[in-house]
């Protein structure tokens, strides 16, 4: 069986790399029982470093919409060149609250 693909960067997610479930609609905005997608932890962190919960719920609640966001598109182009198991600290402090 092949590894699942990350819906943000489209790279395989090997079982030995950090991964997490992303709620397409944030739990705080009514998505507690809603759909989730498995993704690399680094990709998940970048989403939450970029967008507020309100923006995620309102405008970025699909993988396609997330990939279309300018900063996330730039991140995807960058991380796509890295191996599936690549780990890095995501810079913080850019998210608007």
pLDDT tens sequence across 9-60? 999 999 999 999 999 999 999 888 899 999 999 999 999 999 999 999 999 9
Residue in the structure block whose two tokens are 């599936």: 84
Q: Supply the pTM of this predicted model.
A: 0.85
Q: How high is the pLDDT of residue 52?
A: 95
CA distances from 26 to 65, 86, 89, 95 (A): 15, 26, 22, 15
Which backbone phi and psi does 3 adopt, to 5 degrees? -70, 150
Rounded to a whole number, what is the largest CA-CA distance in the chain? 41
Instruction: Indicate if the pLDDT at residue 97 is higher than 60.
Output: no
């Amino acid at each position: 069986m092949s590894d699942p693909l990350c819906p943000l960067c489209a790279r395989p997610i090997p079982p030995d790399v950090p991964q997490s479930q992303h709620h397409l609609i944030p739990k705080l905005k009514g998505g507690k029982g809603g759909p989730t997608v498995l993704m690399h932890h680094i990709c998940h962190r970048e989403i939450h470093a970029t967008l507020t919960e309100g923006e995620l719920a309102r405008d970025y609640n699909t993988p396609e919409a997330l990939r279309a966001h300018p900063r996330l598109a730039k991140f995807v182009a960058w991380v796509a060149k890295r191996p599936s198991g690549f780990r890095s600290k995501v810079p913080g402090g850019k998210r608007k609250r």
